[in-house]
């Protein structure tokens, strides 16, 4: 995927990362996220070294950031203001903080925190309004990248047929979204072109481990380890 440092990351409403990361629910969804891992290379990072002993040095060093729902969440009441990730050893990565961004006149309460581990990204039925988390990733350029997140999409969401994004990384490097197709709702990736996979309606409302494994000319998306058969041969 050739990420240059820094990359942008976003988490739910326009789609949990321009180079920038954006956690979003684009045109709405209700989405719940408890953990998000970003790793260079095809290794599937595990989070903190103390929580999963026995990981190799290579695996630990491949972790770019772990957005852990149990720590680093700044709130105003139950509204999320920002989320700071940790590295493989549990140290905060302040330079990769993602902050709540407003679209239109949406209130900060659209991204909420339960005080323990769960962030919920909600939306309104006004297309011009929304909230998402946005920040920059600091990592060396790589043609291989893995993103893992624990959470779920909501079945009832405004504008669900316009696509509900969990995250965007880079302007068009990769995303994870739920959109209508095949008589239900399918998983999709957009990197300048849309690639669709299997129907994921059965996972609505169900806490799920989602993973995306990307290399220079391939991509594979999984739900709880099941291949979701994303079509196409991308080029990153």
Q: Tell me: the pLDDT tens digits for 188-203?
A: 998 888 999 999 999 9
C-alpha Rg value of the chain to the nearest Å? 16
pTM of the entire predicted model: 0.82
pLDDT digits (tens, 9 = 90+) for 117-140: 999 998 877 878 889 999 998 877
Q: What residue has token string 């909230």? A: 131
CA 232 to chain centre: 21
**Helix, strand, or coil here: 125?**
coil
**Helix, strand, or coil here: 172?**
coil
**Domains of the chain: which residue ranges?**
7-227
**Helix, strand, or coil here: 57?**
helix
CA nearest to 19, candidates 1, 33, 35, 31: 1
164 contacts 28 by C-beta, under 8 angstroms: yes
**Total Cβ atoms within 10 A of residue 206:** 12
């Amino acid at each position: 995927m050739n990420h240059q440092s820094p990359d942008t990351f976003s988490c739910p409403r326009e789609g949990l990362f321009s180079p920038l990361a954006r956690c979003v629910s684009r045109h709405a969804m209700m989405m719940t996220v408890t953990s998000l891992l970003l790793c260079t290379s095809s290794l599937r990072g595990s989070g903190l070294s103390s929580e999963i002993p026995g990981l190799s040095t290579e695996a630990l060093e491949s972790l770019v950031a772990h957005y852990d729902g149990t720590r680093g969440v700044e709130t105003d009441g139950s509204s999320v203001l920002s989320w700071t990730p940790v590295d493989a050893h549990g140290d905060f990565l302040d330079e990769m903080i993602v902050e709540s961004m407003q679209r239109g006149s949406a209130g900060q309460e659209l991204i909420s925190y339960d005080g323990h581990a769960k962030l919920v990204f909600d939306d309104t039925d006004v297309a011009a309004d929304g909230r998402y988390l946005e920040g920059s990733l600091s990592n060396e350029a790589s043609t291989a990248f893995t993103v893992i997140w624990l959470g779920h999409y909501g079945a009832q969401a405004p504008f669900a047929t316009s696509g509900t994004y969990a995250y965007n990384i880079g302007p068009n490097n990769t995303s994870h979204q739920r959109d209508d197709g095949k008589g239900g709702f399918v998983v999709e990736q957009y990197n300048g072109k849309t690639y669709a996979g299997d129907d994921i309606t059965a996972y609505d409302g169900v806490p799920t481990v989602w993973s995306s494994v990307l290399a220079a000319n391939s991509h594979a998306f999984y739900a709880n380890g099941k291949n979701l058969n994303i079509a196409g041969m991308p080029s990153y």
